[in-house]
Amino acid sequence: MTWTAPRLPRLDQRVAADLRALIDAKAKPLGALGRLEDLAVQLGAIQGTTAPRADRAAILLFAGDHGMVDDGVSAYPQSVTAAMVGMILDGRASINALAKTVGAEVRVIDAGVAADLPRHPNLQSAKVRAGTRSAVREPAMTADECAQALACGARAAGRAIAEGAEIIALGEMGIGNTASASLLLHRLGPAPLEACIGQGAGHDAEGLARKAAVLQRAAARSDATEPFEVLRQFGGYEIAMMAGAALGAAALRRPVVVDGFIASAAALVAIRLQPALADYCVFAHGSAERGHRLMLQILGAEPLLDLGLRLGEGTGAVLAMPLLRAAARLVTDVADLTEVLGPAG
């Protein structure tokens, strides 16, 4: 396969200016709702309307396994990925509880889980391969696999939008994917590798040292710096699909809500592939995972929430949904100041 980053429509600056004027005329002090007003302008400029909507949100949760787990980058075995996907499909994971709270839909996509997952009405199969190869010894993906994963992600976003999604949020499940995200940040930031490596899913000091040593070996194996090649060398199928989903959603003028460290690594890849994507991204929260604050700083992003989360699954993205909905309703539901003061007020 070949893959080319899609051209993204420019944000409508006339709509943005009209939205700012509408918000300034609302029955409140000028600028009193702070960043919520900026978010409302961003949503409307993305959607190309002065009546933005954020009621229907789809969480695209991509799952995949990583060959580096065999080299000791994770405190958990690879089998946990399939077990957690099963828990999510059963509706009993953290993401399910939080999604129910805010009325968001969770769509699970098998990007490359190293197991045969049973059929389920809420599971979409897009498996490229049963887990990536170990980036310590060889490229994690072939060029064709990487292109396929990016394209599959874009199609997943397009399908959700065709079925009515007004907001696309990115989530993931994959044992070992903080290791992959660390390498992507290191190379695409760029940033010193030691500043990119955190504890992931429960490493103690010894495990963290082992993870760092493994990632040093992986980084030394390839000097790739071009975004597609960096993704191919060090990424995961779920990360590639999240990057493709972000670009696919933006191409259809939908905001992209980015979860934590791994989802932000996918956004970093996608922004390096197509810089215009940055205007379409809403970064949900600042993760407790080491490296995420650095990644957000590099991207010039200010997250909406700071709750000390480091779970993944799209949990932070879901928790940010009420803020997006509030921002949209600020434009559509709040009275103008003239209704309070009268036309000559």
DSSP code per residue over 106-148: EEEEEEE-SS-PPP-TTEEE--SSSSPPPTTTS-SS-HHHHHH
Based on the fold, state whether residues 23 and 103 are members of the same structural domain. Answer: no
**Could you tell me if residue 7 is inside a domain?**
no
Q: Is 62 helix (H, G, I), strand (E, B) or coil?
A: strand
Residue with tokens 């879901």, as numbered in its chain:
318
Based on the fold, state whether residues 269 and 135 are members of the same structural domain. Answer: yes
Based on the fold, state whether residues 180 and 285 are members of the same structural domain. Answer: yes
Based on the fold, state whether residues 48 and 184 are members of the same structural domain. Answer: no
pLDDT of residue 75: 79
Average pLDDT, consecutive stretches of 10 residues, N- to C-terminus, the chain (345 residues): 88 95 96 98 97 96 96 89 97 97 96 96 96 97 98 98 97 96 98 89 76 96 97 98 98 98 98 98 95 96 96 96 98 91 68
pTM more than 0.85:
yes
pLDDT of residue 343: 67
Based on the fold, state whether residues 180 and 93 are members of the same structural domain. Answer: yes
**Could you tell me if residue 5 is inside a domain?**
no
pLDDT of residue 198: 82
Among the listed residues 157, 113, 131, the one whose alpha carbon sits nearest the alpha carbon of residue 245: 157
Based on the fold, state whether residues 303 and 335 are members of the same structural domain. Answer: no
**Could you tell me if residue 170 is inside a domain?**
yes
User: Domain tally for the chain?
Assistant: 2
pLDDT of residue 204: 74
Report how far residue 27's alpha carbon sits from residue 208's, in angstroms, rounded to the nearest whole number. Answer: 53
Report how far residue 156's alpha carbon sits from residue 88's, in angstroms, rounded to the nearest whole number. Answer: 18
> What would the two tokens of residue 164 be?
């009515």
CATH of the domain at 266: 3.40.50.10210
- Tally Cβ neighbours within 10 Å of residue 24: 12
**Could you tell me if residue 1 is inside a domain?**
no
Based on the fold, state whether residues 32 and 169 are members of the same structural domain. Answer: no
Based on the fold, state whether residues 310 and 178 are members of the same structural domain. Answer: yes
Among the listed residues 280, 242, 200, the one whose alpha carbon sits nearest the alpha carbon of residue 107: 242
Based on the fold, state whether residues 48 and 62 are members of the same structural domain. Answer: no
Based on the fold, state whether residues 35 and 137 are members of the same structural domain. Answer: no
**Could you tell me if residue 46 is inside a domain?**
yes
Based on the fold, state whether residues 97 and 83 are members of the same structural domain. Answer: yes
**Could you tell me if residue 195 is inside a domain?**
yes
CATH of the domain at 45: 1.10.1610.10
Based on the fold, state whether residues 286 and 152 are members of the same structural domain. Answer: yes
Q: 302 is in which domain, residue-wise?
A: 57-323
**Could you tell me if residue 76 is inside a domain?**
yes
Catalytic residue numbers read 313
